[in-house]
Amino acid sequence: MLKHLPAGIAAGILLTSCATVQQPPSPLDVVRAKFDAVNRHDLAAIVAAYAPDARLMAADFCSARNGRASVERTYRGLLAIEDLSVGIDEAIADGSRVLMRIRVRGAVRGQRFEIPIANYFEVRSGLIAYDLGVFNNGSRPCQQ
């Protein structure tokens, strides 16, 4: 069949059939992969899931935390929690935005806890650009 096609067209067909266009993961997949990394306690993978200029906000932060260094500092502290794990109760994606209801579980000094969190994410170019966690922090003072 290719014998009867002009060489340029045949080459184009062959090249395009061999080329695979890698689609970026969906925003929902990006956020799920971040939580999978949390459950593996894989700090490097967690940090890599965030954009270099990511903005993190949470109910117990005094102000926004910006950049991957802040992501690393935040998750280094969280991963120090005994038996830390995250379960996803519900996830909704709308374009680049992802809303999740999650439960963070672990133990502090042998005392088990479970915290329900409403999490809002914005994903750009396959990376988490904005992460807002809302939960009842028990009126504890904010953390720098």
Q: Which residue is it, tokens 């990006």?
A: 30
Q: Which residue is it, tokens 């995250």?
A: 86
Domain that holds residue 42: 25-134
Residue 38 falls inside a structural domain:
yes
**Token code pair at residue 42:** 């894989």
Q: Indicate the pLDDT class of residue 140, thresholds 50, 70 and 90.
A: confident
11-20, 51-60, 77-86, 130-139: segment of lowest average pLDDT: 11-20
Query: Quick one: which of 34, 39, 144, 139 has its CA closest to 81?
Result: 39
Residue 65 falls inside a structural domain:
yes
**Angstrom distance (rounded) from CA 97 to CA 106:** 27
Q: Are 71 and 50 in contact (CB under 8 A)?
A: yes
pLDDT digits (tens, 9 = 90+) for 16-43: 555 567 888 999 999 999 999 999 999 9
Amino acid 52: pLDDT? 98
The partner residues of 93 in beta bridges, in order of sequence, read 98
Residue 16 falls inside a structural domain:
no
Q: Indicate the pLDDT class of residue 13, thresholds 50, 70 and 90.
A: low
Residue 52 falls inside a structural domain:
yes
pLDDT at 14 over 70: no
Residues 6+ apart with CB under 8 A from 54: 66, 67, 68, 70, 71, 127, 128, 129, 130, 131
pLDDT at 144 over 80: no
Answer with the residue of higher pLDDT: 9 or 111: 111
Amino acid 96: pLDDT? 98
The partner residues of 121 in beta bridges, in order of sequence, read 98, 131
Residue 141 falls inside a structural domain:
no
pLDDT at 6 over 70: no
**Token code pair at residue 82:** 């005994």
CATH number at residue 37: 3.10.450.50
Domain tally for the chain? 1
Answer with the residue of higher pLDDT: 141 or 104: 104
